[in-house]
Amino acid sequence: MADLTDMHVVSASRRTDIPAFHAQWFANRLREGWVRVRSPFGGGVHEVSLRADDVIAIVFWTKNAAPLMPLLDEVLASGHCFTFLYTINNYPSIIEPRVPSLDHSLRVVQTLVERYSRSSIRWRYDTIVLTDQLNPRWHAANFVTLCERLAPYTNECIFSFCDYYRKTIRNMERLVPSHARPTETECRELAEELAEIAARNSIKLLSCSHEFLVSARIGSARCIDPEFLAGVVDSAKRKQALSALKRAPTRKECHCAASRDIGAYDTCGHGCVYCYANAEPERAANNLALIGPDSPTLDPASVVVGGRP
């Protein structure tokens, strides 16, 4: 039995969409009880326990949970608790080439909530990208549609504006040359308009890692949030372990609690042009072909070498 300080939240994953592209791989790793992870910052390879006794909760990050849906009852039966951070942006294909349609996403979300509970999802409108066509007026109209259709399933929306990392800039300039980088004033004006739309639909808007946007109507987000997860987990021990988690920001102004991310960069097939987790969509597509369902890791370099360390 794990000590409280040894228990952890599994993040699956900020670095790739595990439910969409690695569902069977995840199920196989869960049966084995461990996964091998390479640090993206040169920290070597380590193992993360997936044993139910060691895991407080699993947080799935996704734009398409459908491939994982048939396996969720097994996740529960193995003693785990879970929730989804579900990104639904309704962008055109020039921005999100291989993300499912809005209707598809809504069907999946509805099924998740009806089969499990409202705590099974938290909605993300992320990342906000501005172009000559996707201007503030477009985002406001798009957000009206999303809030009206998602209001039966969630009461909050986590959002952020695009962070222009070097690889993000390179992909945006190559694939969406009309993109525009908004000023802080422009971000505030659009965020306040979105907050008003959200409020009309009884949805609270939460800003992820942009504290300058927090206001009377906009809260500060914690994507890995012990307070929210306390309503997800199923035991006093897991709640105690949540209270022991320390803050572990992944970027400036991030308020997330600590979690163990089991993903790998350059292994997501959605091809979103704003994505910080893929250096090039083409590289990600090639890497996906390397990773089999029985691999001990999602790290492409480790898969090529093979074997457990």
- pLDDT at 1 > cutoff 70: no
pLDDT per residue as tens digits for the range 69-119: 999 999 999 999 999 999 999 999 999 999 999 999 999 999 999 999 999
Residue 158 lies in a domain: yes
Residue 308 lies in a domain: no
User: Which of these ranges, 165-179, 212-226, 262-276, has the smallest mean pLDDT?
Assistant: 165-179
pLDDT of residue 305: 45
Residue 227 lies in a domain: yes
pLDDT per residue as tens digits for the range 197-254: 999 999 999 999 999 999 999 999 999 999 999 999 999 999 999 999 999 998 889 9
Q: CA 210, CA 213: separation in Å to the nearest integer?
A: 6
Average pLDDT, the chain: 94
Band of residue 2 on the pLDDT scale cut at 50, 70, 90? low
What mean pLDDT comes out for the span 156-180?
Answer: 89
Of 102, 6, 90, residue with least CA distance to 48: 6
Domain of residue 221 covers: 4-298
pLDDT of residue 304: 54
Residue 304 lies in a domain: no
- pLDDT at 191 > cutoff 90: yes
Q: What angle do CA 131, 160, 133 make, to 5 degrees?
A: 15
63 or 169: which carries more pLDDT confidence? 63
pLDDT of residue 307: 42
CA dihedral in degrees (149, 196, 276, 226; nearest 10)? -80
Residue 25 lies in a domain: yes
Residue 309 lies in a domain: no
- Paired with 10 in beta bridges are 58, 260
pLDDT of residue 86: 98
Band of residue 18 on the pLDDT scale cut at 50, 70, 90? very high
What mean pLDDT comes out for the span 279-294?
Answer: 90
Whether the Cβ atoms of residue 7 and residue 241 lie closer than 8 Å to each other: yes
Q: CA 156, CA 179: separation in Å to the nearest integer?
A: 27
How many domains does the chain fold into?
1
pLDDT per residue as tens digits for the range 51-71: 999 999 999 999 999 999 999
- pLDDT at 16 > cutoff 50: yes
- pLDDT at 306 > cutoff 60: no
pLDDT per residue as tens digits for the range 132-147: 999 999 999 999 999 9
Residue 305 lies in a domain: no
- pLDDT at 194 > cutoff 50: yes
- pLDDT at 11 > cutoff 70: yes
Q: How many residues make up the chain in this entry? A: 309
Strands 45-49 and 34-38 turn out to be antiparallel
